[in-house]
Amino acid sequence: MNADRAAAASKPIKTAISREDGIDFSIIELLFFAYRDFTSDPDQILAEYDFGRAHHRILHFVNRRPGLTVAELLDVLKITKQSLARVLKQLIDTGHIVQVQGPRDRRQRELYPTAKGRALALALARPQSRRIHDALQGAGSSDRAVVERFLKAMVNPELRAQIDNLPGNVPGKVDGD
């Protein structure tokens, strides 16, 4: 059969993969489906502006931390300067974001949303927030805390500090308490 040359002639496995190797497929799949639908809400709005997810993310963090510098934004998003440039330029050209020369260090460009940028950020967040709210319907406030703890624990430890630096995310505190 010459199964040694190309692996092409390998036999089909007909049994489904399951929990055999202690792999947590349920949550792996749920995260995939949940995130896909979670991002589909704003995607529809963005399409009207000829924007993509990258625009959304930038707009979001500039609204969450007005005055952050380009370097800080790159650090939060974990993308390269070149990837950011094009998208940020569009947001500036369309008047959603403005740049202000840094007061201490004049090389820096502080990024601020405009009223237009603030409005779009809110419009994009609204359906996502509603989806989360609906998903937590009937769940107690302790359930909300469980979900928050879980998601935060999924983040790489080095990056958890970043999350705490965002407004309203006091480390120990849980919304609704």
Q: Which of 73, 52, 63 is nearest to 114 (CA)?
A: 63
Least CB distance from residue 172 to a copy of itself, whole Å? 13
Exactly one of 45, 70, 98, 174 binds DNA (CB under 7 A); that residue is 70
User: CB-based contacts of 41: which residues, under 8 Å, 6+ apart?
Assistant: 127, 128, 131
Strands 109-113 and 68-69: antiparallel
Total of residues contacting a copy of itself (CB under 8 A) = 87
Separation CA 145–CA 43 (nearest Å): 28
> Rule CB under 7 A: is residue 85 a binding residue for DNA?
yes
> Rule CB under 8 A: is residue 125 a binding residue for a copy of itself?
yes
Exactly one of 42, 51, 61, 113 binds DNA (CB under 7 A); that residue is 51
Exactly one of 5, 11, 14, 107 binds DNA (CB under 7 A); that residue is 107
Angle at 63 between CA 62 and CA 65, to 5 degrees: 65
**Could you tell which of DNA, a copy of itself, none binds residue 109, using a CB distance below 5 to 8 A set by kind?**
DNA
Q: Which 9-38 positions form the footprint of a copy of itself (CB under 8 A)?
A: 10-19, 21-38
